[in-house]
Structure 1
Amino acid sequence: MRWPRHVASLLLTAVLLVGPPILLVRLVGWPSIDSPQVALWQWVRDPLTEQNLILLLVGLAWLLWAFVAYFVTAATATRVWAGVRWLRRLPLPTPWQATATGMAGAAALTIATPTAPTPDASHPGTTTTTGTDHDIVEQADTADGVALSGGWLPYEVAEQVTAAAGLVWLRRRRAYRPTRPHRHSQDAQDLAPLPSTVAAIQAATGSRPPPPVSAPAAGLPPIGFPPTGVGLTGPGALDAARGLLITALLATLRQNTVELVITRRAVDILLGPAAPHLRPGAGLRIVDTAAHATALPADARPSLSHGAEGGRRVLILDEPPRSSLANSGATMVVLTAWPHATTWYVEAGGHTRTSDTANAGPRVCVLDTVATTDLLTVTGHLQPPAPDTPTQPQPQPQVRVPRPTAPHHDTIRPDKRVLVRVLGEPALLVDGAALTVRRTAARQALVFLAVHPDGVDSHLMAEALWPGLPGQRLTGRLYTTLSELRTAARTAGLPIIDRTGDRYRLHPDHVDVDLWYFHRAVDRAAAILADPSTAWQAVVDAYAGDLAAGHAWAWLDPHRESTRRHVLYAYAALAAAAPDPRQALAYLQDGIRVDPYNADLHHRAASILTSLGEHIAAADLTDRYTRRLATAGLTAEGALIRGGT
């Protein structure tokens, strides 16, 4: 509690202001001299008299009191003026707002307050769980959803976005074919980070445990819309339709029991410039008109035929169908009022109510055009445009793998007292002893600086660590986080973070990083053309595990995958150079343990087993790999795996 300290401070200030004048007046009296000339002449003739010394001390005491009084007065005036300026900026309620506030207060006094929050059955995912960790990303405006700059998602939908983002990286791992790394840098399109909307959702879902999910209200499928169909009006109508588009496609990825049918004009309305790049397939069908959508046979898709459990076709139409229930097996959503069915008025935040009454409906997912385009990249339904296409929807930058510019040396230098380990579980060590870094954000910042040895601007670092948060709130968080790192390493007596202007880096003169040593090993191996096996073995030996193993920060995936690819190529190079096929097989099996989702390594291993006549082992390897992909929601592509053939 702070109020006792405030009271004590006020009492001390009062004593300092009132006490000295009272004592001086009672003991000495008010300052008084006959005339300045007489007093000065007396002091010159005999300066060390008792009277002159007392007068000097009394004068000094009054000057000291005057200084204290001036300081207190100035500080008080500053605070009062700050309060006045704050009151001047405080927005006053308009008459309408004042009236609404009064009515709400009167209503609140007539309603019994429950002793504990009760989940609303009409809002899937409602919970009373709140976060307690001071590093939690403050992006969720309610316990059952995630708020973004581009809309609002129910927590269940946000979790599906995070899962779909994970599938994107698993597909990239599956498709990668080990390629010799460039010596200084590597640009790879399939290492591009996912869009900022995805990163913000990943940060929000990863900042707290998932809440218990309530059962949806009767008659409402998981997508949140009435199965009999609905028309949409209001400022959030189009955003709600975009939210439905993403929700249905995510459901298709998860269960393959939802098919989304949308008219071309509805696509143009919802996606704008990105509309030409929306591609059908994997649960998405684009038709010309609403009549074509409602005329589709009910059993056009096997997963939806014969009333499959949970299976449903969702239609997004730009205009109402000619009949009220032209296709009773589908949920129809119309981007305008629908005279023959229920019409919802959708607010900007996703809250719904029927247009003819004040009855509140569920809160639905709402997304703007940019957020929808971002999320379509993880569902796999957005075809990247050609580079010269003028309507390119936010192309993602290529990733440049960082290379250290610190002094090069062949091993981790023992003369450096501070060692940062980021391959495997991150750790900060001073003189070989691991230090405790309490804040999750501080550990994340340590890894971020390790993968950017040349340094990084503070605003870029803050946006990566806390995606989706307002920029004005990031500076203080970053300073607090870096201060935590400095405090943790204070026992070393050395600065571990070097700051030049607005750019931060780990101090290369005092700190060494295992990732930097790994990169140097990769550079040496890539530069050797004749018999590089020893150098590639050094790369394998330097790899102690996945980058920041056990952590799922949104910015981490490109750097983690780049590091993993280097060691996969090292194993592939060692296998290619091995004279004994069984030794080559052992190298490939070690590579498969590093990345059990890579198709190329499995194909090479299966080919060696087949050449050795071990057809059963080759088929078993292929079957295990296929099952692993199926468990993750993937399939083996084409002829990458041909065990036994």
Structure 2
Amino acid sequence: MRTKVALSVGEGLNVSALMIGGWEHGITVDVGIGGQTRIFSGQSTTPMPTRLALLDQAAALQFLTALREAHTGEPPVGVVAPAAVVPLHASRTQVAAEENRSPVPAVVEPGRAQLRVLGQPCIEGIVADGRPLRAKALELAVYLAVHPDGATTREVAEYLYPDARLSQADQRVHTIVSNLRHVLGRTGTVGAKRGHLIKSGGRYQLDPATVDVDVWTLRDLMRDATTAAGERRRELLLAACDLSSAPLALGQHYDWLEPHRETVRRWGTEAHLALADALVTSGEPQSASDLLDKAILLDCYNEALYVEAMRARYSLGDADGIGILLRLLSKALTDLDADPKDTTIALANGLRSRLATR
């Protein structure tokens, strides 16, 4: 009844609610697996569409995040309880970088356990027989990868077992920690003096001395690229673009994952934009155009990518390509019930006009 009153008061302010489950004070609509609708209970005063569009969880979160940012101008925020995203600086377990240290190499060091979380998550280089990796242990590996400072037993339980009783959740965490440690120990670093999954100060964390994590490498490449120059900066950005060719934990739908996936997606976009700018500056517009085409496939709603791609097409004298990019952007933003910015449309028209008068 409190909900009903609140919604009645807010009706004049365009406040409404969509609830999952039955609602005795209004209509309840049954939505089939293909989006087909039928009124389950109550009577509707307005025509009911016969079919509704369906979104999976990842697409819905991206859609809502984009809408919020468009309406408020505020950057995306987490959709679950607060949790630190992967920082662009080293974690507390790493030695602070000195100004004259060598940039992080893009190639992983041999002999280390290799955890891959960009794309489909997996542990590479397993050489010994043993128990398989449990699904929840894999989720733990991804969770610790985006929390390089580690997490307590209770923090892990809160995110991986939110519905379990505390005592049960803690025991389950201990079980999957053991399983993950066992599988990491079966990699090419068997016999290493330090463990791959350690507990320090009451916090579980992947040991950076014995475990290589690709998202950490991406983080360090982006950090080092901010201070590098010339050919070295270009090499770092190229390595970052290669690493960010797939979303974080592709194919997984962990409830806590989306804010971290968005952070990694943003790093990839920044790397592609910066490298494309360097390529255009160095007189390689075709390479820049190809790179931005790839980036648009990874982040089809990012207008900045289309803008830079249009400029690259202009450098190539490709007026048709500029028009195609504008149409692709318009079509993509239709999914979000949005349109390209006026400045983007003006840029596209202006570039094509200048090419026509050459």
**TM-score (norm. length: structure 1):** 0.39
Are the structure 2 counterparts of residues 159 and 528 from structure 1 closer, same or farther at C-alpha, using a change threshold of 3 Å?
closer
Are the structure 2 counterparts of residues 435 and 190 from structure 1 closer, same or farther at C-alpha, using a change threshold of 3 Å?
farther
AA at the equivalent of 2:251: G
Q: What corresponds to 1:413 in structure 2?
A: 109
Q: What corresponds to 1:131 in structure 2?
A: none
Q: What corresponds to 1:252 in structure 2?
A: none
Pair 1:636-2:322 in alignment: no
Are the structure 2 counterparts of residues 173 and 567 from structure 1 closer, same or farther at C-alpha, using a change threshold of 3 Å?
farther
CA contact (8 A) 1:592 1:598 kept: yes
Q: Distance in 2 between matches of 1:593 and 1:159?
A: 19
Are the structure 2 counterparts of residues 398 and 414 from structure 1 closer, same or farther at C-alpha, using a change threshold of 3 Å?
closer
Are the structure 2 counterparts of residues 419 and 399 from structure 1 closer, same or farther at C-alpha, using a change threshold of 3 Å?
closer
Q: What corresponds to 1:605 in structure 2?
A: 309
CA contact (8 A) 1:174 1:598 kept: no
Instruction: Note the C-alpha offset of 1:160.
Output: 8.7
Instruction: Show CA shifts across 1:355-404 (max 9, x none).
Output: xxxxxxxxxxxxxxxxxxxxxxxxxxxxxxxxxxxxxxxxx788562634
Are the structure 2 counterparts of residues 501 and 573 from structure 1 closer, same or farther at C-alpha, using a change threshold of 3 Å?
closer
Structure 1 unmatched ranges of 5 or more: 1-119, 128-155, 176-187, 197-395
Pair 1:566-2:267 in alignment: yes
Q: What corresponds to 2:319 in structure 1?
A: 615
Pair 1:538-2:267 in alignment: no
Instruction: Note the C-alpha offset of 1:413.
Output: 1.5
CA contact (8 A) 1:536 1:574 kept: yes
AA at the equivalent of 1:194: V
Q: Distance in 2 between matches of 1:568 and 1:583?
A: 16
Q: What corresponds to 2:204 in structure 1?
A: 504
Partner SS for 1:419: strand
Q: Distance in 2 between matches of 1:506 and 1:189?
A: 33
Partner SS for 1:602: helix
Which among 248, 251, 254 is matched to residue 547 of structure 1? 248
Are the structure 2 counterparts of residues 400 and 422 from structure 1 closer, same or farther at C-alpha, using a change threshold of 3 Å?
closer
Q: Distance in 1 between matches of 2:273 and 2:236?
A: 13
CA contact (8 A) 1:449 1:455 kept: yes
Which among 157, 161, 164 is matched to residue 462 of structure 1? 157
AA at the equivalent of 1:561: E
Instruction: Note the C-alpha offset of 1:621.
Output: 1.9
Partner SS for 1:425: coil
Q: What corresponds to 2:87 in structure 1?
A: 401
CA contact (8 A) 1:599 1:640 kept: no
Correspondence list, 1:127-276, <5 A: 164-170=60-66, 190-196=75-81
Q: What corresponds to 1:627 in structure 2?
A: 331
Pair 1:447-2:169 in alignment: no
Are the structure 2 counterparts of residues 174 and 474 from structure 1 closer, same or farther at C-alpha, using a change threshold of 3 Å?
same
Q: Distance in 1 between matches of 2:308 and 2:261?
A: 23
AA at the equivalent of 2:304: D
Pair 1:556-2:257 in alignment: yes
CA contact (8 A) 1:607 1:644 kept: no
Are the structure 2 counterparts of residues 533 and 443 from structure 1 closer, same or farther at C-alpha, using a change threshold of 3 Å?
same
Q: Distance in 2 between matches of 1:453 and 1:507?
A: 9
Instruction: Note the C-alpha offset of 1:477.
Output: 2.2
AA at the equivalent of 1:567: G
Instruction: Note the C-alpha offset of 1:628.
Output: 2.6
Q: Distance in 2 between matches of 1:160 and 1:431?
A: 33
Q: What corresponds to 1:141 in structure 2?
A: none
Instruction: Show CA shifts across 1:80-135 (max 9, x none).
Output: xxxxxxxxxxxxxxxxxxxxxxxxxxxxxxxxxxxxxxxx9x986699xxxxxxxx
Instruction: Note the C-alpha offset of 1:170.
Output: 4.8
Instruction: Note the C-alpha offset of 1:522.
Output: 1.6
CA contact (8 A) 1:430 1:489 kept: no
Instruction: Note the C-alpha offset of 1:427.
Output: 0.7
Larger Rg belongs to: 1
Instruction: Show CA shifts across 1:276-311 (max 9, x none).
Output: xxxxxxxxxxxxxxxxxxxxxxxxxxxxxxxxxxxx
Partner SS for 1:505: strand
Instruction: Note the C-alpha offset of 1:420.
Output: 0.8
AA at the equivalent of 2:234: S
Instruction: Note the C-alpha offset of 1:581.
Output: 2.8
CA contact (8 A) 1:427 1:434 kept: no
AA at the equivalent of 1:167: F
Structure 2 unmatched ranges of 5 or more: 1-21, 33-51, 98-103, 351-358
Are the structure 2 counterparts of residues 540 and 575 from structure 1 closer, same or farther at C-alpha, using a change threshold of 3 Å?
same
AA at the equivalent of 1:401: P
CA contact (8 A) 1:192 1:397 kept: no
Which among 273, 277, 289 is matched to residue 576 of structure 1? 277
Q: Percent identity?
A: 27
Instruction: Note the C-alpha offset of 1:629.
Output: 3.0
Partner SS for 1:455: coil
Instruction: Show CA shifts across 1:333-364 (max 9, x none).
Output: xxxxxxxxxxxxxxxxxxxxxxxxxxxxxxxx
Instruction: Note the C-alpha offset of 1:611.
Output: 5.7
Are the structure 2 counterparts of residues 449 and 437 from structure 1 closer, same or farther at C-alpha, using a change threshold of 3 Å?
farther
Which among 391, 408, 429 is matched to residue 124 of structure 2? 429
Instruction: Note the C-alpha offset of 1:164.
Output: 4.0
What's the Cα RMSD here?
3.8
AA at the equivalent of 1:488: V
Q: Distance in 1 between matches of 2:31 and 2:318?
A: 55
Instruction: Note the C-alpha offset of 1:466.
Output: 3.3
Instruction: Note the C-alpha offset of 1:161.
Output: 8.1
Are the structure 2 counterparts of residues 477 and 170 from structure 1 closer, same or farther at C-alpha, using a change threshold of 3 Å?
farther
Q: What corresponds to 2:170 in structure 1?
A: 475
Instruction: Note the C-alpha offset of 1:557.
Output: 1.8
Instruction: Note the C-alpha offset of 1:640.
Output: 5.5
CA contact (8 A) 2:272 2:292 kept: yes
Instruction: Note the C-alpha offset of 1:476.
Output: 2.1
Instruction: Note the C-alpha offset of 1:445.
Output: 0.5
Aligned length: 283
Partner SS for 1:527: coil
Instruction: Show CA shifts across 1:550-598 (max 9, x none).
Output: 1122222222222222222222112212223333222222221221221
Are the structure 2 counterparts of residues 607 and 467 from structure 1 closer, same or farther at C-alpha, using a change threshold of 3 Å?
farther
Q: What corresponds to 1:264 in structure 2?
A: none
CA contact (8 A) 1:189 1:399 kept: no
